[in-house]
Amino acid sequence: MKKSLSLLLSFCLTGCAGQPVDSSAILKENTTPKGCLCYRTITEFDYSQPLAETAPVSDEFFSDTAFLGDSRAVGVFDYEVFPQSDVLASIGLSINQWQIKKVIGEGTEKQTVWEALENKPYRRLVLIVGYNELGWEYSSVFKQKLGSLIDGLREIQPDAVLLLQKIYPCSAKGYAREKEVTPERIAEYNAIFTELAQEKRVYLLDPAPLFTDENGDLRAELTDDGVHLNAAGFKIYQNYIKTHVEEESNNEKMECIDPDSAVDRRLPEPGQAEREERGGSDGAVEPESRS
């Protein structure tokens, strides 16, 4: 019983029914038309799966987030997707250059990505990497280097949550222009991301399903050059990032059930389960059940 409680907690708020449930921890910005929110908390997290959809968070949530990586991360800055966040990224940058190339900042004060991270703590780091490494001879080298990078980030940013964004595809036009980039190679690298996410307990982001056409390619209207998102693409991306967050308090959104037929699945009173197993009440009050 304890294990099932720790694994799955389901409950439903109806607001108007005046249920004695503390809603402050879970009430989020959006509500369904019926005014009923249903959330499920999963405490045994499966890092091999991308973050599931959650209620949207406010812009303030990103005030201590940094987006790190290559030109696909630079777009987060160029299009002002999350102006509250920092973007520590540069076009053409690969992960083996994070401690070498002074490309962050302006003028004579430029730093490497690593130096920038050593100088300011963040609560969340979103890694947008892998595209510039698709041409590496051995994907195993990429896995080893990215694994070491994650280990290093944990040392210099010990309080930060790490999120690893899978590589989204190119459009047909993009594939035509990029010699080393193929859907198969992207899939191979994304499999590495999944392995590393599990090994290193890093959250995965995967916005690709929102971007792709029936062929699995980046939709032409979401990119100008076939490789990078345009304004329309970043609009979708912004909404995705705001609705796929890792904090437990945001929970996973469920379909709202009909409140008129809702079954009360709230957490039982402490000790209730044991009493039930023993086959009777010890005088404790049974919880109300709603029909």
Q: What minimum distance in Å lies between the beta carbon of 139 and other proteins?
A: 11
Q: What minimum distance in Å lies between the beta carbon of 67 and other proteins?
A: 18
Query: Given the complex with other proteins, which of 66 and 134 has the nearer CB atom?
Result: 134
Query: Given the complex with other proteins, which of 117 and 205 has the nearer CB atom?
Result: 117
Query: Given the complex with other proteins, which of 132 and 157 has the nearer CB atom?
Result: 132
Rounded CA separation 198/211 (Å): 25
Residue 198: strand, helix, or coil: helix
Structure tokens that stand for 50 in this block: 């991308």
CA distances from 269 to 8, 15, 282, 285 (A): 16, 21, 13, 9
Query: Given the complex with other proteins, which of 132 and 223 has the nearer CB atom?
Result: 132
Query: Given the complex with other proteins, which of 112 and 251 has the nearer CB atom?
Result: 112
Rounded CA separation 244/52 (Å): 6
- Smallest CA-to-CA distance from 129 within 182, 175, 72 is with 72
Structure tokens that stand for 201 in this block: 């307990």
Report CA torsion sign: 68, 164, 132, 79.
Answer: negative
Query: Given the complex with other proteins, which of 87 and 205 has the nearer CB atom?
Result: 87
Put residue 50 in one of left, alpha, beta given phi > 0 → left and psi -120 to 50 → alpha.
beta
Rounded CA separation 151/66 (Å): 17
Q: What minimum distance in Å lies between the beta carbon of 112 and other proteins?
A: 8
Q: What minimum distance in Å lies between the beta carbon of 215 and other proteins?
A: 23
Query: Given the complex with other proteins, which of 50 and 174 has the nearer CB atom?
Result: 174
Q: What minimum distance in Å lies between the beta carbon of 263 and other proteins?
A: 56
Given a contact cutoff of 8 angstroms between Cβ atoms, the answer to whether 125 and 161 are in contact is yes
CA distances from 69 to 106, 112, 129 (A): 17, 11, 5
Rounded CA separation 206/213 (Å): 15
Q: How would you label 92-104 residue by residue, b for 16+ Cβ within 10 Å and e otherwise?
A: ebbbbbbeebebb
Query: Given the complex with other proteins, which of 51 and 103 has the nearer CB atom?
Result: 103
Q: Which residues bind to other proteins, rule: CB under 8 A?
A: 71, 90-92, 94-96, 99-103, 110, 112, 132, 135-138, 141, 145, 177, 179-180, 227
Q: What minimum distance in Å lies between the beta carbon of 26 and other proteins?
A: 44
Q: What minimum distance in Å lies between the beta carbon of 3 and other proteins?
A: 43
Q: What minimum distance in Å lies between the beta carbon of 96 and other proteins?
A: 4
